[in-house]
Structure 1
Amino acid sequence: MPQNNPAAPACANLGLAIQEIAPMTVLARVYPERRSVTHLFESDFYRMLIDRRTEERVAHMIRLYFGNAADWRYAHDFYLPTGALYLTPEPHQNGYIPEDDLSFGLSLTRRIAIADGSY
């Protein structure tokens, strides 16, 4: 569990730590490392235009915090208001493009973990 992971960030609230470096972020979509891309979304469901270094830092924080709870070969969405990590919908599914269905793809069936250590 993340709170028992000595490599986990010392910050008790991952969402707040992310908002310190990217204040308007509501959702962070972390793609597999081989794609070398991360998207950050605002509450209006549109992608934020932010520098690559910040994207990489956010992705690193999420991967470090959740560690082995997720299969990082697949894209995942971290929803800051709830602290929940979800498996990202596939391109043909609702939620892949957040503004299409206004859900961010946050289906309980796709939830992987919650930042407080729940699974």
Structure 2
Amino acid sequence: MLVRVFPVSRSVTHLFESDFYRMLIDRRTEEEVARMVRRGFGRAADWRRAHDFYLPTETLYLTPEPHQNGYVPEDDQSFGLSLSRRIFIGCGER
């Protein structure tokens, strides 16, 4: 599962299943998941930008920009999880 946490100003969070399809969940659950990810990584990320949290490896990545490969997860089936975008592993370990 992948959680895409957008800046608070966008007020949206997307959750993707392992088959790259977006999960449809209620807004309250989205907010709680985003809060948990932000709290887990604290100041490790610039939350004014979107980030992807990949649950199986507990790794935080900077989300690709809309024009970049991986922004739409099913396009390249990478979720944008390239090493060059990795910020933190295991909720706080670099």
With structure 2 as the length reference, what TM-score do the two structures score?
A: 0.97
Q: The residue matched to 2:71 in structure 1 has which SS? A: coil
Q: State the one-letter code of the partner of 2:45.
A: A
| Structure 2: runs of 5+ lacking an equivalent | none
Matches within 5 A, 1:60-71: 60-71=35-46
Task: Return the offset for 1:116.
Answer: 4.5
Show the counterpart of 2:76. 101
Runs of 4+, deviation exceeding 3 Å: none
* In structure 1, distance between residues paired with 2:51 and 2:72: 13
Q: Deviations over 1:28-60 (max 9, x none)?
A: 000000000000000110110100000000000
* In structure 2, distance between residues paired with 1:109 and 1:84: 13
Q: Deviations over 1:39-87 (max 9, x none)?
A: 0000110110100000000000000010000000000000001100000
* In structure 1, distance between residues paired with 2:79 and 2:54: 8
Show the counterpart of 1:89. 64
Show the counterpart of 2:17. 42
Q: Which has the higher strand share?
A: 2
* In structure 1, distance between residues paired with 2:11 and 2:34: 10
RMSD across aligned positions (CA): 0.7
Asked whether the equivalents of residues 66 and 115 of structure 1 are also in contact (C-alpha less than 8 Å), the reply is no
Q: State the one-letter code of the partner of 1:93.
A: Q
| Structure 1: runs of 5+ lacking an equivalent | 1-25
1:118 and 2:82 correspond: no
Q: The residue matched to 1:81 in structure 2 has which SS? A: helix
Q: The residue matched to 2:70 in structure 1 has which SS? A: coil
Q: The residue matched to 1:58 in structure 2 has which SS? A: helix
- What is the aligned residue count? 94
